[in-house]
A and B are shown apart, each in its own frame.
Chain A
Amino acid sequence: MRVYVANPTLQHRDFHYRIPGVQTSRVLRIRAGGQEQLPESLDGSDLQSVLQQLQGIGAVPKSDLASIVAPKALIFDVAPNPIKAETIEEGLGLDEDARQEVSAAKMEESGLQAFARAQSGGARAVEASMEVVEVTDRGAVKGGVNYEVVVSSKPNRRAARKRTETKA
């Protein structure tokens, strides 16, 4: 059966995979935003093995794009026809969202790490703030961001964060 693998990210992908019983691994180069067909016609346990390898690195089936919650996910489909361009485009949007979510989480963690002492010590009613300001709103660069992170060091309390985009 034909297996198509699409790459809905801005990075090129070398998908390394191994067919059971074959000594050497294989590489499928999928350019950013593109898709490729696995050169082998796979069936049965070979097909299941390759699909498992795909899913193990966060690839999702074409019918389940909503599962793209982490960056760098691939899309695969076992079908006679290639994956539609609209599907890859939708995946690109989801990848961007996932990247931004990771970035936001890391910004938040910056504050948490800076005040790890206050948390680990079980301190009470402590609040610390880290201000990260991108001042392009004064110069109006399109796509700039203002970012403000407020970190609560109370146990199990997550931080508030505010992100606004500037418009040209």
Chain B
Amino acid sequence: MPSIFNARTLVHPSHQEPGLIITQSQASGYTDVLAGEGLRVQLGPIDKVVYANRLDVRTQIAANQATANALPGATLTGDFIQTATYTVRQRNEYSEYDVAEAGEYNVALPMAYRYAHRQGAFQFIRNAGLYGVSAANSEGLINTPGATTVNLPPDSYGNTTLPTYDAGQLAIWFNSVIQAGLSRMYLMGTPVRVVILGPQRILGTMQLQDIVQTTSYQRPGAGTATTAQVITTVNKEFGYTIDWAFDDTLIGQGGSSTTDAVLVVFPELNVPKVPGINTNEFAMVAPNISGNTLQYADVIAPVEVTTPIPEGLDVTSTMRVSSGWCIRSQAITIAQIPY
């Protein structure tokens, strides 16, 4: 775990640009698919497992023209589900010479290590959130048991890949996926946030390239709007807010190397209710977890522990997280999009 700042030969006179050219990584939008758009910071530092209680109800009722005396009642069933947590740790050791040599490159070594640790931890957390640490245990949002996987069928012209797909038909197909998800959650008619998380090459094409073609008949956005604009505006008119988020690790995760995965997620549950006779009245029992997609942590960023060691310093970063956990599997649809 070294820092590498080699000695070098420079021409004199010369000008040294003070800024650095720093490697850029994708700032993933995956946290948008989590309830509250972030980690659920509730863990203790040594909590090994997260448990969540479930409450199910089955109601029976007697309805007689005469009055019945032997009456049925409601049955309440408690249950629980669980997910494991993991410590994420990193360590670097450095001496005064390392700090000095990094300084020759205009790099503040302790700060560089801090951000490197955070980036490593955050990328791990993203991967654990989407793909799980132990996928065999169905960890990770993309592995949610009971979620629904859908695939993009050929359009009516026979096009099978996203770049060639009819833009208008693509918008309508995506809206059908959203509608199916809303229906599974009984959320039709209820304002809710919908997150579409996918690779840049998929969502970018839908946002910037796919102008809905004009046809002999009128269709939304023809000649003026892209697929993504049609999806956003049509849903907005009915109270559904579309958030677009990007993560390129989903490239090739749609079941074959040329098929990308796009997640359509309802991160929060806006409990459906109507005034008066509410056939979903039992959902008023509190506390009802409003999040559907959760990822737990003990802190929002790794805790740094710096310790003197012989001839230098040791810096360790540590935090505890769970994998991504969807507690209501209807909230996730995984779309397989050929590219």
Which A residues contact B (CB, under 8 angstroms)? 9-18, 20, 23, 25-26, 32, 53, 56-58, 70-73, 96-97, 99-100, 102-103, 106-107, 109-111, 113-118, 120-121, 123-124, 126-136, 139, 141, 143-145, 147
B1 with A128: CB separation less than 8 A:
yes
Whether B140 sits at the interface, judged by CB under 8 Å, is yes
B4 with A72: CB separation less than 8 A:
no
Residue from the list B90, B139, B152, B336 in contact with A131, Cβ < 8 A: B90
- Chain B residues with Cβ below 8 Å from A57 are 151, 254-256, 259, 336, 338
Q: Which of the 9-residue segments B66-74, B119-127, B271-279, B303-311 touches chain A?
A: B119-127
B1 with A127: CB separation less than 8 A:
yes
A71 with B143: CB separation less than 8 A:
yes
B116 with A143: CB separation less than 8 A:
no
Complex: A14 Cα to B132 Cα, angstroms: 23
Residues A10 and B86 in contact in the complex (CB < 8 Å), given A32-B145, A57-B151: no
Residue from the list A32, A73, A102, A126 in contact with B135, Cβ < 8 A: A102
Chain B CB count within 10 A is highest, among A103, A118, A131, for A103
- Chain B residues with Cβ below 8 Å from A11 are 144-149, 334
Whether B25 sits at the interface, judged by CB under 8 Å, is yes
Q: For residue A52, give the distance in angstroms from its CB to the closest CB of chain B.
A: 9
Secondary structure call for the A interface? mixed
Complex: A57 Cα to B249 Cα, angstroms: 18
Whether B232 sits at the interface, judged by CB under 8 Å, is no
Q: For residue B198, give the distance in angstroms from its CB to the closest CB of chain A.
A: 15
A106 with B249: CB separation less than 8 A:
yes
Interface CB pairs A-B, < 8 A, 10: A10-B138, A17-B153, A18-B153, A25-B153, A25-B154, A102-B131, A103-B136, A109-B127, A113-B120, A130-B88
B131 with A103: CB separation less than 8 A:
yes
Residues A15 and B1 in contact in the complex (CB < 8 Å), given A99-B136, A116-B25, A141-B49: no
